[in-house]
Copies of this chain bind each other. A is one copy, B any other.
Amino acid sequence: MLNANRDIQRTPAHTRSQVLTHALNLFTGQGYFNTSVHDIAHASKVSVGSIYHHFKDKEGIARTLYEELLTQMVEEITDILRNHTTAHSRCRAITELLFEITVVTPETMEFIIYAKHREFLPGEFPICSSKPFVMMREIVAEGMETGEIHTMDPTVATACLFGGSIRLITGYLDGVLEKRLPEYLEETWTCGWRAVAVV
A residues adjacent to B (C-beta < 8 A): 30-34, 114-116, 118-120, 126, 128-129, 152-153, 155-168, 170-171, 174-179, 184, 187-188, 191-192, 194-196
**CA–CA, A44 and B35, complex, Å:** 29
A167 to B, closest residue via Cβ:
B159
- Choose among A116, A164, A188, A192 the residue with the greatest number of B CB atoms under 10 Å from its CB: A164
**Which residues of B sit under 8 angstroms from A158, Cβ to Cβ?**
167
* Contact, CB under 8 Å: A174 / B126: yes
**Which residues of B sit under 8 angstroms from A179, Cβ to Cβ?**
153
Copies in the complex: 2
**CA–CA, A196 and B163, complex, Å:** 13
The 10 closest A-B pairs by CB, nearest first: A163-B163, A160-B164, A31-B119, A159-B167, A33-B33, A126-B174, A195-B195, A160-B191, A163-B164, A163-B167
Besides the contacts A152-B187, A155-B178, A166-B167, what 7 more A-B pairs have beta carbons closer than 8 Å?
A: A115-B116, A126-B176, A128-B167, A156-B164, A159-B165, A160-B163, A162-B163
* Contact, CB under 8 Å: A33 / B119: yes
**Which residues of B sit under 8 angstroms from A175, Cβ to Cβ?**
126
Q: How close is A134's CB to chain B, nearest CB, in angstroms?
A: 10
**Which residues of B sit under 8 angstroms from A174, Cβ to Cβ?**
126, 128-129
**Which residues of B sit under 8 angstroms from A188, Cβ to Cβ?**
156, 159-160
* Contact, CB under 8 Å: B160 / A31: no
**CA–CA, A188 and B162, complex, Å:** 13
* Contact, CB under 8 Å: A192 / B33: no
* Contact, CB under 8 Å: B160 / A184: no
